[in-house]
Amino acid sequence: MTLKSFNDKHDNDYHWAMVIDLDCCDGCGACTIACQAENNVPTVGEERAYDKRTMSWLRIERYFEGEWPNLRVVFLPMLCQQCDKAPCEPVCPVFATYHNPEGLNVMVYNRCIGTRFCGNNCPFGVRKFNWFKNRWEEPLEQQLNPDISVREKGVMEKCTFCMQRIRRGKDHAKDEGREVRDGEIIPACAQTCPTKAITFGNIRDSKSKVAELAKSKRRHHLLEEHGLETHVIYLKGGE
Amino acid sequence: MSSREDIPADERLPAVETVRGQALDAGIQAGKESDFSISEDRLNDISLRPMFYTTKTYYVLTIILALIVAWGAACWGYQIVMGMGVTDLRHPVFWGLYISAFVFWVGVSHSGTMVSSILRLSKANWRRPILRGAEAMTVFSLLVAGLFPVIHVGRLWRIYYMFPLPNQRELWVNFRSPLAWDMAAIFVYLTSAFIFLFVGLLPDIALARDYCPAKNWRKGYLKFLALGWRGSHRQWIVYEKVSLYLAIFILMIAPSVHTIVSWDFAMSITPNWHTSIFGPYFVVGAIYSGIAGVITLMVTLRWIFNLDEIIRVTHLTNLSKVLLLMSIMWGYFYFTEFITSWYGNNPTETAIWRWQTDRFGPMLFTMLGINIFSIAALAFDSVRKSPGKLFVIGILVNVAMFIERYLIVVPVLTHRDNPFTWTDYIPSFVESSIAVAAMAWFLLLYALFVKILPIVTVSDIREGNALSCDMAFGNRHIRVHGDAEE
């Protein structure tokens, strides 16, 4: 439960981080679909989407630069930023969300009672609440991922950096008696991204691709004024 | 309105002419305080009459209230079955009308017990008739307030995770979370307010027990609840001690409770919530709306049960002076909050203020208008001496304070840091029904309380009478009060 900064002395070899190169992102939205399929995220339908009740853990935010007709559309893939000093964690009265030793902001669905304080305290608005009981039509329930639970109505959920894939990667490495190799664990969004804008890895490993990219001059974090030490690093500014 | 004829002759209590009460008020307004001297038997009759005589209007009103409550309960059931989606809450507006109502009801609860303990400790003589009504208001509004977080949570059936229950995995509640403190604070306050109310009730329950006709259904539970109170010297000494200590204890708890409620907001990083002024600001706002609530209830009781001789204009005038003071203090805190964020010039906060005046303009200006109007109106002596006008002001102030809570909770969430998530929120029918039903639930609890236990603090009034006498100074008669300790 300690709020460790990622420069602090650490007791764990892994600290997961993601780099998203906005200069590569063309806003195709493949990552959002991949996330939806991988993580059993329900599809809510047109009406509820209009009510702002979409459940997507990862969304492409679309902004416009300039005035018509000199418009430029900018895309920002928005997902849980896995803050080291996550504002959602201390406000949960039941420890349904907490910080794990690998720097992930973890959600325990079975512990959540739905006070929704975490969602209020998240400046990115990436926490999603199950407003209704989710349904999958007849053949669709066959495609649910068995590695991740289907959430009940009344609980919060959010991006986990594909927790189940991290788990599987680490188990593999452990079986073979080694550390996790760089690039061995790939979340669904990174796997799907056609322009390879998303990179995932262990930022504690200085030779990892993520650590290399994080040294870029184009690096920035979202809403840095809150001092949250987010672990999704955005690259932007190259032409 | 009265249906005294329904009651058998041997159970009938003596009739009370309200003319005398009106004459009294006229006398008091003319500055003749000394007119008040009420005989022991008359005091009993007037005070216990609300309990033993029930009019048809009462039944009708209670049934209407019960129906509203039943409708609210049905809506709640629907919400539990369907999920929180039946509200208008959405991403990222996770808190809405329920939390506004929660803050409002905790606020209303504030004045009763706290003011009663302050008045007890400061030995203000005018406190006596209003104590019971105010303390009961605290308990019932807290019961209503405590309901809202329960209605609000997504998984009601798992709410016991909030309690620090021992379990095999040694998973405790998160003591860093303001919600955990909040629950603890509400529980402590509710328990102590309940004990405070009950201890104060003891001598009056005993009085009602002795007064109650043998065949009346109330006899049984009154006997039980009186705990064998006989009014012996020793019992009175213990009673005085307990009330004193409880008053001190309550006085320490009450401000902390609403400070903690304010921390639900202030401890978050949400712009406009994250401000250190929220603690005192919420406490002052709470006492403000609470006093308005007390005044409204007192005028209502006085009107319905003809308690003019007990709850006199003097008491209402004194309460309205407290209300005036609290409204000025509230205004100070409100504008301090405003000015602090204006001076800080945080872009997000400024944007939210602008959004608030823009989208929530009508609500904001109604709220400010009412509060400014009430300060202006209460400055006049004629308003402070008129129960009718005070009643209207009391209602208006509580409407304004409800809007104020709504404006604290909602605008920020609809328009915060990430512009992509900006949205709108209008409470749905289910939410509004539950909020209205909560009001009815409060009134219903209060109405039932009046019929079950004595609403007038007879013992305290009698103590006041025993400690005071009329003395002539020249041609003026003045009421002189002694001190119990002397």
The string of pLDDT tens digits covering residues B444-456 is: 999 999 988 988 8
- Closest approach of B83 to chain A, Cα-based (Å): 5
Pick the residue from chain A with its C-alpha nearest to B409: A120
* C-alpha triplet B436, B441, B444: angle, nearest 5°: 130
Find the CB nearest B177 among A92, A116, A133. A92
- Note the pLDDT tens digit of each residue in B243-263: 889 989 988 888 888 899 999
Asked if the peptide bond before residue B203 counts as cis, ω within 30 degrees of 0, the response is: no
Whether A87 sits inside 8 A of B269 (CB atoms) is yes
Query: Facing residues of B432 across strands?
Result: none
Residue-averaged pLDDT of chain B: 85
The 3-class secondary structure across chain A, one letter per residue, is: CCCCCCCCCCCCCCCEEEEEECCCCCCCCHHHHHHHHHCCCCCCCHHHHHCCCCCCCCEEEEEEECCCCCCEEEEEEECCCCCCCCCHHHHCCCCCEEECCCCCEEECHHHCCCCCHHHHHCCCCCCEECCCCCCCCHHHHHHCCCCCCCCCCCCEECCCCCHHHHHHHHHHHHHCCCCCCCCCCCCHHHHHCCCCCEEEEECCCCCCHHHHHHCCCCEECCCHHHCCCCCEEEECCCC
Reference B89, options B101, B97, B78, B81; nearest CA is B97
Tell me what the mean pLDDT of segment A188-195 comes to. Answer: 94
The alpha-carbon radius of gyration of chain A (Å, integer) is 18
* Domain assignment of residue B154, yes or no: yes
Residue A238 has pLDDT above 80, yes or no: no
Phi/psi for A204 (5° steps) reads -75, -25
* C-alpha triplet B392, B393, B397: angle, nearest 5°: 120
Whether A93 sits inside 8 A of B183 (CB atoms) is yes
Distance of CA A131 to the CA centre of its chain: 20
Q: Is there a contact between B130 and B319 (Cβ–Cβ < 8 Å)?
A: yes
Other beta carbons within 10 angstroms of residue B17's beta carbon come to 10
Whether B269 sits inside 8 A of A226 (CB atoms) is yes
Point out the least confidently predicted range of B31-45, B305-319, B386-400, B421-435: B31-45
d(CA B204, CA B210): 10
Residue A54: list chain B partners with CB under 8 A.
Answer: 91
Whether A54 sits inside 8 A of B91 (CB atoms) is yes
| Per-residue pLDDT at A31 | 94
Phi/psi for B432 (5° steps) reads -65, -40
- Closest approach of B350 to chain A, Cα-based (Å): 16
- Pick the residue of B173, B421, B431 with the most A CBs within 10 A to test the interface with A by mutation: B421
Q: Is there a contact between A187 and A80 (Cβ–Cβ < 8 Å)?
A: no
| Per-residue pLDDT at B32 | 46
* Domain assignment of residue B377, yes or no: yes
Place of tokens 């000199």: A70
- Closest approach of B300 to chain A, Cα-based (Å): 37
Q: How far is residue A237 from each of residues A22, A76, A195, B65, B422, measured CA to CA in Å?
A: 8, 13, 17, 64, 26
d(CA B168, CA B149): 27
| Per-residue pLDDT at B55 | 82
Phi-psi region of A112 (alpha: psi -120 to 50; beta: other; left: phi over 0): beta
**Which CATH number belongs to the domain containing residue B60 in this structure?**
1.20.1630.10
Point out the least confidently predicted range of B49-53, B97-101, B153-157, B180-184: B49-53
| Per-residue pLDDT at B217 | 85
What domain count does chain B have?
1
| Per-residue pLDDT at A201 | 93
Distance of CA B4 to the CA centre of its chain: 31
* Domain assignment of residue B344, yes or no: yes
Burial of B189 (0-12, 13-18, 19+ CB in 10 A): buried
* Pairing relationship of beta strands A232-235 and B468-473 according to DSSP bridges: unpaired
Find the CB nearest A125 among B91, B95, B172. B91
Q: How far is residue A163 from each of residues A107, A131, B317, measured CA to CA in Å?
A: 10, 23, 65
The dihedral of CA A97, A103, A104, A105: what is its sign? positive
- Note the pLDDT tens digit of each residue in B188-220: 999 999 999 999 889 889 888 888 888 888 888
- Pick the residue of B172, B417, B431 with the most A CBs within 10 A to test the interface with A by mutation: B417
Q: Place B482 in a pLDDT band, splitting at 50, 70 and 90.
A: low
Find the CB nearest A93 among B91, B156, B174. B174
Whether A90 sits inside 8 A of B174 (CB atoms) is yes
Find the CB nearest A87 among B94, B172, B268. B268
Residue A91: list chain B partners with CB under 8 A.
Answer: 176-179, 267-268
Q: Is there a contact between B432 and B73 (Cβ–Cβ < 8 Å)?
A: no
* Domain assignment of residue B486, yes or no: no
Contacts (Cβ under 8 Å, ≥6 apart) of B339: none
Interface ipTM > 0.85: yes
- Pick the residue of B420, B423, B426, B428 with the most A CBs within 10 A to test the interface with A by mutation: B420
Reference B275, options B211, B352, B190; nearest CA is B352
Residue B15 has pLDDT above 50, yes or no: no
Q: How far is residue A127 from each of residues A99, A208, B123, B356, B469, measured CA to CA in Å?
A: 15, 29, 53, 24, 68
Find the CB nearest B90 among A53, A112, A127. A53
Other beta carbons within 10 angstroms of residue B177's beta carbon come to 24
Structural domain that includes position B283: 4-481
- Closest approach of A151 to chain B, Cα-based (Å): 12
* Domain assignment of residue B45, yes or no: yes
Percent of chain B clearing pLDDT 70 (strictly above): 88
* C-alpha triplet B125, B116, B188: angle, nearest 5°: 160
The 3-class secondary structure across B14-67, one letter per residue, is: CCCCCHHHHHHHHHHHCCCHHHCCCCHHHHHHHHHHHHHCCCHHHHHHHHHHHH
| Strand, helix or coil for residue B412 | helix
- Note the pLDDT tens digit of each residue in B461-479: 877 777 766 666 776 666 6
Q: Is there a contact between B420 and A78 (Cβ–Cβ < 8 Å)?
A: yes
Phi/psi for A129 (5° steps) reads -115, 140
Reference B352, options B418, B285, B267, B277; nearest CA is B418
Residue B304 has pLDDT above 70, yes or no: yes
Tokens at B222, concatenated? 């009154």
* Pairing relationship of beta strands A16-21 and A232-235 according to DSSP bridges: parallel
Residue A7 has pLDDT above 50, yes or no: no
- Pick the residue of B79, B81, B84, B98 with the most A CBs within 10 A to test the interface with A by mutation: B84
Between these two residues, A107 and B486, which has the higher pLDDT value?
A107
Place of tokens 């009508």: B362
| Per-residue pLDDT at B478 | 66
Identity at B451, one-letter amino acid code:
K
Phi/psi for B352 (5° steps) reads -70, -40
Domains along chain A with CATH numbers:
16-235 (3.30.70.20)
Whether B92 sits inside 8 A of A119 (CB atoms) is yes
d(CA B443, CA B446): 5
Reference A116, options B476, B115, A107; nearest CA is A107
The top-scoring range by mean pLDDT among B65-74, B189-198, B282-291 is B65-74
| Per-residue pLDDT at B484 | 56
| Strand, helix or coil for residue B367 | helix
Residue-averaged pLDDT of chain A: 89
| Per-residue pLDDT at B485 | 53
- Note the pLDDT tens digit of each residue in B409-421: 999 999 888 889 9
| Per-residue pLDDT at B3 | 42
